[in-house]
Structure 1
Amino acid sequence: MNSEIRNRKGARKAQDIPKEVLELLNNGQIETVNLTEWLAIAHVLLIQAVFPKLGIDQDKIDLISKEIGSQKKPSAMNTTKLVGSRLYQLYSKTENLGEILDKLSAHPSDSIRSYAPYLIGLNEKMTINEKLGQSQKLVADKHFGVREVVWMGLRPEIDKNLEESIDILSEWTNSEDENIRRFTTESTRPRGVWCKHIERLKENPEIALPILENLKSDDSKYVQDSVGNWLNDASKSKPEFVIELCERWQRESATKETAKIIKRARRTIDKK
């Protein structure tokens, strides 16, 4: 692979993606470098090229390909969820599930790795502690797409096991990895983006204080933005909680990091 492809910044429009780059992406040989490329992946071509090498049966590949093509509302996110969910359903009662999960999780293609969270999140034999633990490598993935998919794949399970999840995630806020710290708030946002709301956190945002308190002066902008977005979500149903918390944080944590979080947290409140 030449350095021009390896060091590319990525096209702004799908039609401007070079043919050679798109072929490499759809063959699972390289990662996407921006959202435009991520959205341009032809998942049928991708799984037809990669899945046989992972030991996935051709009849199952053909079945998944057919389902991708018959979607009523196709999108990159919906297709990723479809492929991951169907793989789990097809292999959940076999001895090959763990091996396939390992191969997906370690694949060079971010799109292939993005199928993996659903094999964890849907596994009925695992506790929420086991699911979160097994997902941590994906949570810390260097690629933005994988990190977004993993919190969406685990979010329904976090919602079902909210208190236990928050206990676990509050420990994750001590991680040296900003991606792991960010996951703690992004996966529990009361409203979130492209996902079902967590009703209990909309009405009782204080449940998540063990996470929020630990991140109120985090030095990572990536984490700061997520904490601010979390509180902005909460402000739409419980503005008094956010106002009181921000006022307390201003008194207790006079740092520029906390100030940035508060400004982002109050953006809906301050517009009124």
Structure 2
Amino acid sequence: MAEPFKLLINEAVVTALAHHLQRVAGTGAFDAAAFRHRALDGLDTLELKARAGHVASALEAHLPADFDRAAGWLEATLGEVIPPDLQVLPPRDLAQGMGGWGLWPMTEFVARRGLADPERALQALHAMTRRFTAEWAVRPFLLEHPALTLATFERWCRDPSAHVRRLVSEGSRPRLPWGVQLRPLIADPAPTLSLLAALQDDPSAYVRRSVANHLNDIAKDHPEVVVQWLERHLESACDDRRVLLRHASRTLIKQGHARALACWGLGRAFEGRVAFAVSPARIVLGEAVGLELQLQSLARQPQALEVDYVVHHVGAGGRARPKVFKGWKLTLAPGEARTLSRRHVMRPVTTRRYYPGEHRVELQVNGQRCGEAAFELCCGPG
């Protein structure tokens, strides 16, 4: 069984950080024992993000008040950079220097203490993101010092390190998971569009994946911006860019956005017959229903089809909450009949609460609803 995610920041990480800070600061300049005691006090009770903040608070208490000096100490603790062909370094001994998840508290310290000296802080984050990521820590600088940070990002688009280039896209994502929302960019994504254009053909798949996720974030608030991006950049796209744009389109495709579907040749309604069924009629939480779909083409030309399904989860008070799930991508030949099937598990997850009752399932083909079935979710067996 895998260890809990929160243990990525643990006693060994704190001990290594204390050791390296004492090493670079010199005898008597840094109280490693006091830092370690403060950082470990209550750490076991916290989840991962809270652990990063807790250790950052210990750094605030024990590093020099002068930010430039404190940042220099942290930079001097850093270990080897992540090679360009890897997203992260494999787990390793921290004896040679800090890296990996142990850097999250260090980047958080920079985010808290460096806002008054943003140029020096961004320099530190540049060094740290090459060993881990500074995608959460750079966001306060976009909010407090947008002009300086965006100008820095323009230079970083040409940085030799893929990890720095990725930070430009990932750090400025409007709705980055675990990160503070960038409300000005949610309201108007224009300031980052030139950065994404510079990175969408980046040689690193790691960078391109971030650009796709960034564009998908924008699509949730400004679908027309991303549709226009597709219309402008898709026609002459190489294979790598097509993969990026397809991933960037995923929310729009699931929503059945007509212009986005048209960009991918999925704008036409299905010509044919559809039969859709869900079984069994009743399940309990943790069990699965089977989805079976029969398609019969009546067209004279092949049809490219994007088939998704929408589960209308019963919410508190009986109000339905629809969620689109990916189904199948296929091309149906003229006159062809095809049967498709899938299991959909009603598995407990931390992000959704389930309620008993009838759950409708709608079939969506090229963005248009063309079939419906239902099953009942019960509180328990029987």
For the criterion TM > 0.5, the same-fold answer is yes
Which deviates the most, 196-205 or 156-165? 156-165
- Is the strand fraction higher in 1 or 2? 2
* 2:161 equivalent among 160, 172, 177: 177
Indicate yes or no: 2:244 matched with 1:261: yes
Indicate yes or no: 2:64 matched with 1:97: no
Task: Map 1:219-238 to 2 at 5 A.
Answer: 219-238=203-222
Task: Map 1:77-92 to 2 at 5 A.
Answer: 77-92=49-64
Instruction: Report the equivalent of 1:13.
Output: 2
- Identity over aligned pairs, percent: 20
Deviations 1:111-162 (A, max 9, x none): 4433321332222475333222222121122xxxx22xx2212222222222
Question: What is the CA–CA distance in structure 1 between the aligned matches of 2:120 and 2:199, rounded to whole Å?
Answer: 24
Task: Map 1:181-192 to 2 at 5 A.
Answer: 181-192=165-176
Q: Paired residues, what number? A: 229
CA contact (8 A) 1:151 1:187 kept: yes
- Give, in angstroms, the shift of residue 40 of structure 1: 2.8
Question: What is the CA–CA distance in structure 1 between the aligned matches of 2:12 and 2:127, rounded to whole Å?
Answer: 26
Q: For 2:246, give the aligned amino acid.
A: K
Instruction: Report the equivalent of 2:18.
Output: 51
CA contact (8 A) 2:78 2:99 kept: no
Where in structure 2 are there 5+ consecutive unaligned residues? 23-29, 80-96, 256-382
* 2:112 equivalent among 103, 122, 145: 122
Q: CA distance change for structure 1 residues 42 and 220 in 2, over 3 Å: closer, same or farther? A: closer
CA contact (8 A) 1:81 1:118 kept: yes
Task: Map 1:119-198 to 2 at 5 A.
Answer: 119-124=109-114, 126-141=116-131, 146-147=132-133, 150-198=134-182
Q: For 2:150, give the aligned amino acid.
A: I
For the aligned residues, what is the CA RMSD? 2.6
Question: What is the CA–CA distance in structure 2 between the aligned matches of 1:198 and 1:98, rounded to whole Å?
Answer: 25
CA contact (8 A) 1:172 1:180 kept: yes
Q: CA distance change for structure 1 residues 124 and 221 in 2, over 3 Å: closer, same or farther? A: closer
Q: CA distance change for structure 1 residues 208 and 234 in 2, over 3 Å: closer, same or farther? A: same
Q: CA distance change for structure 1 residues 178 and 52 in 2, over 3 Å: closer, same or farther? A: closer
Deviations 1:162-209 (A, max 9, x none): 232122102211123211111100000010111221111111111112
Q: For 1:163, give the aligned amino acid.
A: A
Q: CA distance change for structure 1 residues 46 and 258 in 2, over 3 Å: closer, same or farther? A: closer
CA contact (8 A) 1:228 1:261 kept: yes
- Is the helix fraction higher in 1 or 2? 1
The structure 1 segments of at least 4 consecutive aligned residues displaced by more than 6 Å after TM superposition are none
Where in structure 1 are there 5+ consecutive unaligned residues? 1-11, 15-35
Q: Normalized against structure 2, the TM-score is what? A: 0.54
Which of these two proteins has the greater Rg computed from alpha carbons?
2
